[in-house]
Chain A
């Protein structure tokens, strides 16, 4: 058996798999290295500079997210130099960011404020008004870009390019005026954007924010209850978290947004589409049917139990088969059905009713 290579991490030998970054090895070993521009789904960029570590023999600190482990590398993740670096770096970030922690978190939690606090950043350095341009007047209904919060980690643009393959947004401009933009600052509606909202999900500071809860004045995310569920828009089965404001609607609670679980924790890897992330308002719509309805002899619809409703449907189907034969029936399943449900409906059509007239609307 070949012995696996190892690095010396803060003095302790830690084995690694070739191709792993120092951040991956250190995280697995339980070290807490701060990151801002890192996302396991993306190619490392190494630009936020928060994850710098010291490597024996290297003159400069190195980004652990972008440095591959090599045999017998001696890596230090915490010492006075690194701590000083983190404290000063976060102090600089705060000087260029909304200073009030709570106010900054009117939507999602702000990773920057949390890290800055943990690494003893000085919140009292003179504040500089950001020179980054917003994208005012973008009429898209879902994504609001608040440039003052942006730290240019480029998670959103890289997610858009590397995961979604959409390339709707980009780093734009240069220096302090660098910002996130579409081409010509056009609305996302006029760009290649598919409104998946992944930019919101990956943003560490709430610069990319969901419009609807902001407009509705929903409480900040930290006050919401997360309810894990399966998206029912299609058969993929993405997991998502309904974010419920428990005090809304006289204490009955109300879904005020949907977030995706962190990457690596579920199938779908934290990716959602426009429907799963934004089309949740039907849940509380007054027209939504919450019990089966059965047609009465006078033509009106009356509430019924599931047993009554299914019995009534079965009787109707069997009646058609008796009068006109099996091929008078056709079965069309909804595109919202899962693979298992589609299997069952073809089984119902073929084995129970004896017809091959079966289709799923997802096929068209």
Chain B
């Protein structure tokens, strides 16, 4: 954790927050590591073990190479690469989506993401994990994805991934002129909705935190991007960290937060460096005065992208989502009022402040603003495209160079959104229209599948992902995710199929009603959506 001297509000439980990093320094959760960290920190040994065992990158220190098993990487043959990696003697395992779906197959060497990995790369490593390189990447670890569309005028872009960074602090000056109430008014007028998946109105949260009497208040950046099919936050952090940091500073000053905590997934070395540099630039310009900032690395747990799980992880606990209510705006980090936003949401802030809420609102087609759409799978130019909110899949495919093959199915917003058939290609990809077909925009991680794709395998990949990434806290999700994965196999083997179909719907209902957080609530969707739209894949 890198930090600046904090002026007046030391973290109430700073020691516990350091457990994950202390375990990382100890080389992961090797025998004796918990005891060693316990004697350094005075925190009970079992608590440390419980935390470490929750995070895959800490819990399995012997695994040095991880091959992404996300849907887009699977479609590019990642399971074969994993077998090959193991066969060549690499200490390898599969892992959940590495947020590099635009450049499959992605692999993780220790904590470094290697995109475009091939069988030749694996051969060349010859069983030595340290020498594993992606030839497409070369020796550089600074890589980016494709962004677009290239010809959009700047005044129609909110984040504007391909323009140069700007550390002048214009939005901060403008925010100062507007005052906190003026800024909140602009955010409310803009209609900005959370870009992390839930689509919750941002202005509402800002107002709620600002109206809390208790201090300190905190601002948290959710950069734990991990929804399969999603890699936009990576691009924002790499290309426009200025927008992110300026947005954070505007938000912190507006809601009265004196400390900013950024939680980045542990695999995001490049984005980490970019964000750190951007903070330094603003700090050198004297624009961070009175606000401390902290970067915190995740250690391999998708669930920590859920806002309250993220807060738990920041506090150095197992990343298990909290009960809501109370919401983080009231009871957040260390129990204090906390504003928490996804990277893309916060990166929208500077332009909203500069150009006004109405400008942002008018940019969208069916909802306010532009949206970063990630597209991967069977598409010519996988990448991140900033487009008016509410464009259709066809519009997206057009800017991304078109399909490879003929469209069969697509996943509109990550694994959590299940699958839609080609007939939905004209439906606006926005928060409301997708709800009408029982799915969601989510993080707008669009994965497209052509006629050659194995849809049953795609469903399997998504179900296994949720079973892997369930925190295990509540029974509907812990048992339900595994149960549904098993039900899929039963269906495909078409024994007892009638009962199984009924059971799938019942369990999906219960997971939605009974689970604590969004993961469990929607985790049946890959299966139930496939049953609804693609019944033929389950025919004998």
- Among the stretches B44-52, B155-163, B182-190, the one at the interface with A is B44-52
Q: Given the complex of chains A and B, what is the CA–CA distance between A184 and B510 in angstroms?
A: 35
Chain B residues lying within 8 Å of A92, measured Cβ to Cβ, are 475-476, 479-480, 483, 507, 510
Is B514 touching A61 in the complex (CB atoms < 8 A)? yes
Contact B301 A174, beta carbon cutoff 8 Å: yes
Provide the A171-215 mask, 1 if CB < 8 A to any CB of B, else 0: 111111110011110000001100000000000000000000000
In the assembled complex, the Cα of A213 lies from the Cα of B76 at a distance in Å of 56
In the bound complex, do residue A61 and residue B513 qualify as a contact, i.e. CB atoms below 8 Å apart? yes
CB distance from B527 to the nearest CB of A (A): 15
Q: Chain A, interface size: which category? A: 35 or more
CB of A224 within 8 Å of the partner chain: no
Q: Which of A11-19, A47-55, A245-253 contacts B (4 or more CB under 8 A)?
A: A47-55
**CB contact under 8 A between A49 and B474, given known A89-B510, A171-B50:** yes
Which of these, B34, B318, B467, contacts A176 with CB under 8 Å? B467
On whether the beta carbons of B471 and A88 are closer than 8 Å, the reply is: no
Q: In the complex the two chains form, is A152's CB within 8 Å of B472's CB?
A: yes
Cβ of B44 and Cβ of A167 under 8 Å apart?
A: yes
Is the beta-carbon distance between A49 and B46 smaller than 8 angstroms?
no
**Contact between A178 and B472, CB atoms less than 8 A apart:** yes
Task: Judge whether B473 is part of the interface by a CB distance below 8 angstroms.
Answer: yes
Residues of A within 8 A of B46 (CB): 167-170, 181-183, 191-192
Once the chains are docked, how many angstroms separate the CA of A61 from the CA of B476?
13
- Residues facing A in B46-61 (CB within 8 A) are 46-50, 53-54, 56, 59
Contacts of A176 in B (CB 8 A): 467, 470, 472, 478-479, 481-482
A85 engages B510 (CB within 8 Å): yes
Name the A residues within 8 Å of B470 (CB-CB): 174-176
Chain A's nearest CB lies how many Å from the CB of B271?
Answer: 24
Question: CB-defined interface of A110-127 with B at 8 Å, one 1/0 digit per residue?
Answer: 000000000000000110
Asked if residues A81 and B513 are in contact (CB atoms below 8 Å), the reply is: yes
Question: Nearest CB to that of A178 among chain B residues?
Answer: B472
Whether the Cβ atoms of A184 and B34 lie closer than 8 Å is: yes
Residues of A near B32 (CB, < 8 A) are 184
A128 at the interface (CB under 8 A from B): yes
User: Given A49-B476, A61-B513, A126-B490, A170 and B483 touching (CB < 8 A)?
Assistant: no
Flag A136-161 by CB within 8 Å of B: 1 or 0 each. Answer: 00000000000000011000000001
B485 to chain A, nearest CB (A): 10
User: Is there contact, CB below 8 Å, between B472 and A174?
Assistant: yes
Contact B479 A95 (CB under 8 A): yes
B509 within 8 A of A: yes
A95 touches B472 (CB 8 A): no
B476 / chain A contacts, CB cutoff of 8 Å: 49, 89, 92
Q: Distance (Å) between the CB of B473 and the closest chain A CB?
A: 5
Judged by a CB distance under 8 angstroms, whether B35 is at the interface is: yes
Give residues 29-86 of A contacting B (CB, 8 Å).
46-49, 52, 60-61, 63, 66, 81, 84-85
Q: Are B49 and A181 in contact (CB under 8 A)?
A: yes
Q: Closest B-chain residue to A191, C-beta based?
A: B46
Does B469 sit within 8 A of A, measured CB to CB? yes
- Measured CB to CB, the nearest residue on chain B to A65 is B323
Contact between chains at B53 and A172 (CB < 8 Å)? yes
Given contacts A49-B515, A175-B482, 14 further A-B contacts (CB under 8 A): A47-B474, A47-B475, A52-B513, A60-B513, A61-B514, A85-B510, A92-B483, A92-B507, A96-B475, A171-B50, A173-B472, A174-B471, A175-B471, A178-B472
Q: List 14 A-B contacts (CB under 8 A).
A: A49-B514, A89-B510, A92-B483, A92-B510, A128-B483, A167-B44, A168-B46, A169-B46, A176-B482, A182-B49, A183-B38, A183-B45, A183-B49, A192-B46
Closest 5 CB pairs of A and B: A178-B472, A170-B50, A167-B44, A88-B510, A183-B49
